[in-house]
Every structure is written in structure tokens, then in C-alpha cells.
Structure 1
Amino acid sequence: MPLQTADILIVGGGVVGSSTAYFLTAHPGFHGRVVVVEKDPTYGEAATARSAGGVRQQFSTPENIRMSQFGASFIKNVAEHLSLAGEKAQLPFVEQGYLFLATPSGLPVLEQNHATQTALGADIVMLDPPALRRQFPWLHTDDLAGGAFGRRNEGWTDPYSLLQAFRRKAIAQGAVYIQDEAVALQREGDRIASVTLAKAGTIAVGAMVNSAGINAARVAGWAGFDLPVRPRKRFVYVFDCRDSAEIQKGPLLIDPNGVYFRPEGASFIGGVSPPEDQDPDCTDLEVEYGLFEDTVWPTLAQRVPAFEAIKLVRAWAGHYDYNTLDQNLIIGRGPGLANFYMANGLSGHGLQQSPAIGRALGEMILDGAFKSIDLTRFGYERVARNQPLAELNVV
């Protein structure tokens, strides 16, 4: 039977869209029709499936810290939330922490962030160079002033499994997923009246959610406003190292220059964000190996002497829905719109914050306001005023 109406239509069925569908359909006071439009149900090229899966509380913005705290708790207790009848939901959570390193010039910011994090209950400890050497004897520390290490609720999980668990549970609760693509919106006054899909045609909507990832700005443009979200490409490099038994037990480490690595099975993965002037809008998935040769490998070899002898095994590319204003989430209603909601511009931390974002959107749409975590500062108003809400710990 062709679709004709949806009480809530979600454009984009990745981890944020699927989390939103789950929380909407789980709301005890809501019994409407939730439709999720996803053009690629295999998620083969989706940002979620190509994520490094990190979970951390080491942000500088209190709202980001609180969202990721909820995300860590949700993932660790996923069986309570996303299990199906006769099928227990399970997710790996490798709780080996994050380690942010700082040189003398960067130490004050690290200490300031640490104060914010611990004030909100995050179990992060500051380590001076001798303490770093004791805990991580494989680490070169001569140029460092200190590091911040997350002892609990930090590590990494399986992004694809989290996405699929959200999707399966949302469907079990009544959400309808369709393989299609939004191509237009019809606006009437302050409302979106309908959404046109490439195959299913026009669907009348009570409300809609823009969780279209790297395509979010296009959807916002159809609604009549500009969204500073652009597709940016990031690379994940997989490498092996022979003498790495102790390093395998280590955290996800972020060097002062932004290069990161972490264990991945018997191997390691790593990468770095390119300089801003070398980070164009990009939708292809071609891998650039020069960034590994010129920046990632030299940094790894300097920071971890054992990594002077590593072998690059493979690499892949994925995308950030990159908020060019401040690399932070934009969530809430669209400007001048009563029934257009969005969660866009996550700039790489959407996976870990997806449980909190889905919950927040569910609260705003069905209860009229944020209840669990006040995300008002992440609304579109700051974009309209051109007032960034800077996040200092962008990886």
C-alpha cells in the first residue's frame, strides 16, 4: 500500500535518525506513525558504518560531556534498551579510555577542560610526564607537559551494531523504514506540509526530522534556510606492529597535533583531521595515502618508538557532517518553522551522542521542550546570530 501520511517523517536513517525513531516510538504517550526514509539500507557508504566508534567524555562543552555520559551508559546497558523478544541486544564496549596529550602551551586548556569534565562527574585524571611514563611505558613523553586520561566510560564500540540495534528496536515498536530519497519539501506558512520522495511520491506530514547527515544543508535549503553543514572526508588507516602487546592494552590516544590511534583487534587504527585550508567539501570515498605518509606515520613513530616499524594494512574513508561555524551539534526547530526539527553538524561525535540526541528530539517533538539535558544553546539561533559555541576538543 503506498504511503500517504506520516505523523513524523525522519529524513535519514543512520544512527541519529534511528535513535530518534526508537525514542519516538518508545514514548508512552505517542501512538502515531513514524516513517524513516533511508536511501541505502545497507549503510555501505554511511558515516555511521565508517566511524571509528569512539566514546568519550573529554569535551570542553558541558552539554557535549553530558550527552556522551548518557551515550556511554546507554551502550553499556544496551540490553535494557534495545533487546527484542527472544533476542538480547549486545554491543562491545572496549573501555580502555581516551588519552589527550598536551605540550606546555596546550596544558592550560587541557586543565581547564579537565575541571569542566570532573565537575560533571566524569572520571578523568590528569597525569604529569612521570605518571604518563609509569602507566604507559611505551610512550615518548620528553616534549609533553601532561595528559588527561579517562578511567571509566571511555573507549570504543561497534558503530554498525549500534545502528542496527536502534533500527531493529524502532521497527519492533512500530516505525516504518522505506528505501527512498527525499527530493523536495512543501512549506505552507510556518509548517512543512509534505515531503516528496523520489519513488513513493508526496507524503503529508505532521512533523519532520532532518537527520540527513552530509545532505542536511540541502534539506534545510528546501525548507528555506541556510545550514552551515558540509560534507568533509576523513580517513582511517589500519596498521600492524610486531612488538605491541602492551600498546594493545592502551587507550585511544590523541597527540597534541591531532593525530590519533587506538587498538583494533590485533592491529591499530589511526588518522588525523587535515588543516582547514586543505579540507574541502567532498562526497567521494577515495583514500589519500599522502596524509598517512606525511603526517600520521611520522607522529606515531615520534610518540610511540615501537611504531617506527609498522605496516599499513588498509584504509578507508568516511564523512563528517561538518558544522563550519563551530563543529557542534545544531538541534531543535528550524527558524520560523513549527514542525521542522533537526539534528545536524555533529562533526564526528554523532555516534556516541546519538542516544542523547534521539532522546532530546523525542522530548522536543512530543513534550514540547528538552527535559533530560537542556540543549537550548545548540539551537539554530546561534547560527542566525553567527555566534559560535566553540568545542575545543574536536578530533
Structure 2
Amino acid sequence: MSDHPKFKSYDVVIIGGAIMGSATAWFLSSNPDFNGRVLVVERDISFADSSTMRTNSCMRQQFSTELNVHISQFAADFVNNFRTHLGDDPRVPELSIKSFGYMYLAGDRAMEQRLRRDQAVQVTAGAATELLSPEDIAARYPFYNLEDVTLGSINTVDEGYWDGAAVFDWLRRKAREGGVEYIENTVTDLDVADGRVTHLHLAAGTRVACGQVVNAAGPRASDVAAMAGIDLPVEPRKRYTWVFRAERPLDRPLPLTIDPSGVHVHDNGGGTYLCGSKGFDDPAVAASDFAMDFSLWEGHVWPALAHRIPQFEAIRVQAEWAGHYAMNTLDQNAIVGPHPDLPNFLFLNGFSGHGLQQAPAMGRGLAEWITYGNYRSIDLSPFSFDRIAANVPLVEHAVI
């Protein structure tokens, strides 16, 4: 992998080569109506610390905004028909979603009302979300302690685990085979003149001319935006993950359960389970900060698990890691498309923890914008930067 571009100018430069950048690159390269030259600049081509590789790789349709439901419905189709979407290439694996479902549990009146509102939105959008009384939940999943639960919400159709790493690997591979150039380098500055980004500066002094620039820098998105003089309300927020083995495994698959405590847990196969949580506090952190808070497990996560599922009183941690949400602090929703005053600077940012599952639709949408000047599949214009500039939130409440 080279660290220097082959050419001095590109029609599109994508800053960030993880799943968002690579989805955009692949949709561009596979579109016969696009014939431009594309460069992807990635600071660490191993992607070891990217949000893409430190994710829990799950998918759901239980969102509070109809647009987000439709985005995940496309993602489900994309994964379930992955080889077909990638041109029936026999090398591409046939994938599917392990649909154990998401189970939201309400522990108070406010959360119960929110689940009811959200379920109405989801059903209108075509999702199969059901509301369950505590008695209904106990009949299907008798292992829960439901003494403090008033309502549940579940959808077992196209909600669960999927192989995000395989999707990312093949999007990147097919983009490169389609002519997209990837380099391992760091963007250090942007030149702006006459209302456009004209050049990118790379480490070691290389300067590259650009037609369009895509900010797909994940938790570092605000740093890239600042190079263009833009204040972007996106910051890294740490999220912790543990894989554990239960001494007494459950007798049926565990839905991805979102507990009122904020802890979530789901079946990982073979008597193991994966759970996650934010910290005791949730401040912005450095994009390079992946340190674990070892007090969090004993002080919050394990007690919450044992309370909700008494069989999880005896468990043993097998692996643990921290990753980052690229949190949009205004409304926890995506920021997509051109800046109103800098139209060749394009956002693909602020996914607030649901970016992996949104990458197929977002990559397709931004590729459409670059090629045609509009969205032709799902209208992503509600996610434009205009609402950020006007301070008019489009709030997504269902953020885990």
C-alpha cells in the first residue's frame, strides 16, 4: 500500500477509508454514470482502531425516525443479498443477518410512552415491531427478571448480528478493483478559495487538487471540518464491550436486550454473550483513547446483567475492548451532503453509534449526490448540514 497518490489531482477525495468511505467509494466505482478519479486517504490502513472494526456489528429497525428505519431496511436487503449487490461475483460470500432481534425494556412511564411512539413510527415504515406486556415477555423469554419492567418492544425480522467486517472488506476490495486508489497517509490541512476546497495537504508535504472532498473521518470528523473552517458538532464518545461465558447458558437465543440501566447484551453463540455500555460519565474523549475503565464491569455492568437475567450471576469475561461513537451532539443523527457555503465539501459524519448499519444507504446516497447532484434512492436531505447551521435538531431518540 503506497503512502503517496499516483496523480496530482482527483475528482473525488475521500478522507477516511473505513466502512463509510469505502461504501461511498464502491458505489461510485460501480456506477457506470460516474467516470471520475477517486482517491481514499486513510491514516491507518490496518483499521485496527476504527469504529468499523471496534463495533458490535448489529442491525435494527427500531428507530424513532422513519427515515432511519428505511435506511436500515436497505442495509438488511444489502446484507441478505450481498453477493447480488456486488455483481454476482462468485468470490463474494453469501451473507445473512442472524435475526435474534432487539428487545427494548421499559422501566418507567416515560420509556414506555417512547416505545409506544417509536413502534407506531416503525410499523408505518414497514417494520415488524411488536409491543409486549411483561406477561408476554415472560412467556417467550422466561429467563428475564421483569419485576421492574412495564413494557417491551421487539422485532425479530432483520434485526440482530451481521458480519460487518466481511461487508467492509469486500466493499473496499471491490472499490480498489473498480479503480479507486487507496493510500495510507494523513490529511494535515485543506486549502479553501472562492467558496471551494481546492487542495488537500498530506503528511510529508504532498499537495493534492480535488474536485469534491468527502469527510468520512469518523470520530475525527470535526478535526477535518475545522481544516475547512467549519464547526462540526461531532465528537468521540467511548463505548465499552465485553464478551463473557455463562456458567449456565440460556436455553434459547438471547435478543439484543437494551436494559433500562443502559447496559445491552445479546447472544454470541456457544454459551457466550456480548454486552456493552457507556461509562459512568459520557464525556468527549481523545480519538486515540481506547483505555478500559476496569471499575465499570464490577460497579455497573455485571450487577445490571445479574439483576435482569439471574442466570448471569455466574459469568466469566473472555474479552473486552473500548471503541468510539462519532456522536452528533446536536441530535444524534447523521450529517450528510454538501456544506451550504462550501458545496464541494461533503459530510458523511455523526452517526452516533449506528453508522455500520447505515453505511450501505449512506454510501449509495452520497455517491448519487456526487454523480447526479441529488439523491435518487432514499432522500437523505433531512440530514443536511443546514439544520446544524440553523440549530434545528432532527432528534433520533433510539441511541444505545
TM-score, normalisation: structure 2: 0.95
Partner SS state of residue 365, structure 1:
helix
User: What is the distance in 1 between the residues matched to 2:57 and 2:106?
Assistant: 23
User: What is the distance in 1 between the residues matched to 2:346 and 2:399?
Assistant: 25
Partner SS state of residue 338, structure 1:
strand
Is 2:27 the partner of 1:23? yes
Runs of 4+ residues over 6 Å off in structure 1? none
User: What is the distance in 1 between the residues matched to 2:89 and 2:70?
Assistant: 31
Match of 1:32 in 2: 36
Is 2:297 the partner of 1:292? yes
Residue from 162, 186, 192 that aligns with 1:187: 192
Match of 1:271 in 2: 276
Percent identity over the alignment is: 40
Match of 2:170 in 1: 165
In structure 2, runs of 5+ residues without a counterpart are none
Deviation at 1:265, TM superposition (A): 2.7
Aligned residues: 393
- Bigger drift between 128-137 and 103-112 goes to 103-112
User: What is the distance in 1 between the residues matched to 2:299 and 2:219?
Assistant: 27
Deviation at 1:3, TM superposition (A): 2.4
Is 2:100 the partner of 1:96? yes
User: What is the distance in 2 between the residues matched to 1:386 and 1:367?
Assistant: 28
Is 2:50 the partner of 1:46? yes
**Which amino acid is 1:143 matched to?**
D
Is 2:243 the partner of 1:225? no
Is 2:382 the partner of 1:384? no
Match of 1:60 in 2: 64
Are 1:236 and 1:269, in contact at CA under 8 Å, matched by a contact in 2? yes
Partner SS state of residue 94, structure 1:
coil
User: What is the distance in 1 between the residues matched to 2:98 and 2:238?
Assistant: 26
Match of 1:130 in 2: 135
Are 1:233 and 1:282, in contact at CA under 8 Å, matched by a contact in 2? no
Match of 1:314 in 2: 319
Match of 1:241 in 2: 246
Partner SS state of residue 352, structure 1:
helix
Match of 1:337 in 2: 342
User: What is the distance in 2 between the residues matched to 1:28 and 1:83?
Assistant: 13
Match of 1:323 in 2: 328
**Which amino acid is 1:70 matched to?**
F
**Which amino acid is 2:77 matched to?**
S
Measured against aligned partners, the alpha-carbon deviations of 1:250-278 in whole angstroms (never above 9, x if no partner) come to 21110122210011232111121235x54
Match of 1:71 in 2: 75
Residue from 254, 257, 271 that aligns with 2:258: 254
Match of 2:306 in 1: 301
Match of 1:151 in 2: 156
User: What is the distance in 2 between the residues matched to 1:158 and 1:90?
Assistant: 11
Is 2:91 the partner of 1:80? no
Partner SS state of residue 339, structure 1:
strand
**Which amino acid is 1:136 matched to?**
Y
